[in-house]
Structure 1
């Protein structure tokens, strides 16, 4: 089978299951709720409407991009999960056996997953952007703060967010190809993204020089690619100067993670026999 034929088969396989739209709904709800809360708090704080009016204000400059970046800052785990599930569910349910019988060239099968992963990344990216931008822009406008829609920088930011979602799906595919066990892969993804990296990045906010290492972590690289992150609010108050990567460097680092994981997964477990 050719790559085009395998891609059509892979597309049917992925979109006839319920997992993709269940995760998309959870992504919409999770990012939407987070953006709603932060949109209210940050907008009210920036205008002095929060508390007694004497509390420190968040500068309005850059506030739109900060709120819009919620889609990637807190939502990146969802494209990572769907990419991982694209592969590990095949190992778990033994559907790779007939796939490899129909397409003996396993690199073609993995390539088809990457193509479909691109589509899913864009789809999840649109969902995440809508969930973050909708409530954020509503609160910004309601409090009389510029939404930034007239600026090309805002649209470039949204475009980089879509790119980040695609790269996270690719990373997930690499993780799934490398770690066959679905439970182990999902637990590993959640532990790293929700605990290990956040703790390491928080520590870098207090330890001078540690940021030189943590800025190359995938989450930090993703934030650098996007160009904004709500994570910067907590680190800006510590007194330790954290210098993120340039957006293009963050993209290359994230792409590097994806390439290394996909190649490592292909060279190891992907080429082994499927029991």
Structure 2
């Protein structure tokens, strides 16, 4: 075999894989990465109990058509529509018991029955956000101003129109609701989310005060064209939910006008009681620390024992040695962490469900991203530690840097120790930004909430935060390769 063949990258990968798998401590460390991810997640689930009986609260969180957790709580005055049809009404300005919330809503809606989470399209007046056309909880677009609202159903397509005088109409947009049945419910609604006052606490973090609210709106000039049933029925949807308890919603009819009072929201669920998928992965935090230790030792042990000289004599192209180490370590760590996450999530959620906890539903794609992203986070953290270890050539210092840049910022940002602005800054500029890949519930502009790290929300999008850690790891590897070329072994 020629020197070039011995120094080929596949041969380097094989050599580094052989080193990794033949050192029992490193293999044990990677096994610990998977094991603690599972065990700590299961212990956390075993210790979580919720006494939520049917007589106290609704123990479920409805899922919308896209699989995301939703809030579907409003007072619905409706009749049945079979086939195509049109509903028109004029909506008075909203009034509230304690003022009107910016995202209080009253308007007209068509919905696939009264089951919470079912598909819908609505055209509405809001407290301070103008006229909106919304559908299936997550979709929201601004519509022209006007007190007169109209929804027209043609098959699976719902078109909205707005008018200032009931004569001249402006298009508010059209949405498709695939699979909408022939028979649906259509009518009037009113709802108002909780009033929250958010302020920084004295010792950092945030303080939230407030409570449920109710909104009222009067509808007149109501016309129904199509196969509607006679009369109106009233239902307080979601009145038994934990997030939005009913404040006594209802409706009254007088002289052809209908006044509707309602509480709650029709929107994605972003807050409230319940266990998210990432809570089954709390053990991944300890798994990350174990991976950082293994990554550091994979680099520093050769310097401590003097074996690096032999490695570099066999492969004079030094930067390729470090690249091979990084690829082998990252791949093996990813596999170990992925195995732990794939076990921890279904078992943890099964235990949580058995203990009466409320589980927050997420789309399948989001669940896969959280699981795979957690494994990738741990793997890149190990590579980052490998690069730092190669730079410092000292295990204690490299592990300390790994903890100081990954673990400490995360703890400070999510434990309500720091003001929310400082916490968000930390999770933008440090490697701990990568924890955003575990966020399962996104922020929505149409929902006012406490979007802070302490509440599980990160300032960067999931893969954007992960990219910050990748950038740190790539920079550290580049510096380590430069140093390896310039310094004596």
**Same fold by TM-score, threshold 0.5 exceeded?**
yes
TM-score by length of structure 2 reads 0.47
Alpha-carbon spacing, 1:218–1:127, altered in 2? closer, same or farther (3 Å): farther
99-108 vs 24-33, which moves further: 24-33
Q: Tell me the distance in 2 between the aligned counterparts of 1:179 and 1:107.
A: 16
Deviations 1:96-154 (A, max 9, x none): 11110010000110111122022222222124314532541331342465586983321
Alpha-carbon spacing, 1:219–1:136, altered in 2? closer, same or farther (3 Å): farther
Alpha-carbon spacing, 1:78–1:217, altered in 2? closer, same or farther (3 Å): farther
Question: Is the Cα–Cα contact under 8 Å of residues 413 and 453 in structure 2 kept in the other structure?
Answer: no
Alpha-carbon spacing, 1:130–1:271, altered in 2? closer, same or farther (3 Å): farther
Q: Tell me the distance in 2 between the aligned counterparts of 1:208 and 1:148.
A: 27
Q: Tell me the distance in 1 between the aligned counterparts of 2:281 and 2:430.
A: 16
Structure 1 or 2: more strand by fraction: 2
- Largest Rg, 1 or 2: 2
Structure 1 or 2: more helix by fraction: 1
Displacement of 1:171 after TM fit?
A: 0.8
Q: Which runs of 5+ in 2 are unaligned?
A: 1-6, 58-241, 244-271, 442-450
Which of 11, 21, 45 is the equivalent residue of 1:5? Answer: 11
Alpha-carbon spacing, 1:148–1:78, altered in 2? closer, same or farther (3 Å): farther
TM-score by length of structure 1 reads 0.79
Which of 13, 37, 56 is the equivalent residue of 1:31? Answer: 37
Q: Which residue of 2 aligns with 1:152?
A: 365
The 5 Å alignment of 1:30-179 reads 30-42=36-48, 44-45=49-50, 47-48=51-52, 59-60=273-274, 63-130=275-342, 132-143=344-355, 151-179=364-392
Alpha-carbon spacing, 1:210–1:242, altered in 2? closer, same or farther (3 Å): farther
Question: Is the Cα–Cα contact under 8 Å of residues 431 and 468 in structure 2 kept in the other structure?
Answer: no
Displacement of 1:192 after TM fit?
A: 5.1
Question: Is the Cα–Cα contact under 8 Å of residues 38 and 343 in structure 2 kept in the other structure?
Answer: yes
Question: Is the Cα–Cα contact under 8 Å of residues 35 and 136 in structure 1 kept in the other structure?
Answer: yes
Alpha-carbon spacing, 1:10–1:151, altered in 2? closer, same or farther (3 Å): same
241-250 vs 253-262, which moves further: 241-250
Q: Which residue of 2 aligns with 1:19?
A: 25
Count residues with an aligned counterpart. Answer: 259
Question: Is the Cα–Cα contact under 8 Å of residues 204 and 210 in structure 1 kept in the other structure?
Answer: no
Q: Which runs of 5+ in 1 are unaligned?
A: none
Residue 478 (structure 2) pairs with residue 263 (structure 1): yes
Q: Tell me the distance in 2 between the aligned counterparts of 1:270 and 1:182.
A: 20
Alpha-carbon spacing, 1:199–1:159, altered in 2? closer, same or farther (3 Å): closer
Which of 177, 182, 185 is the equivalent residue of 2:398? Answer: 185
Question: Is the Cα–Cα contact under 8 Å of residues 7 and 116 in structure 1 kept in the other structure?
Answer: yes
Alpha-carbon spacing, 1:150–1:223, altered in 2? closer, same or farther (3 Å): closer
Which of structures 1 and 2 has the larger relative contact order (alpha carbons within 8 angstroms, sep 6+)? 1
Residue 454 (structure 2) pairs with residue 235 (structure 1): yes
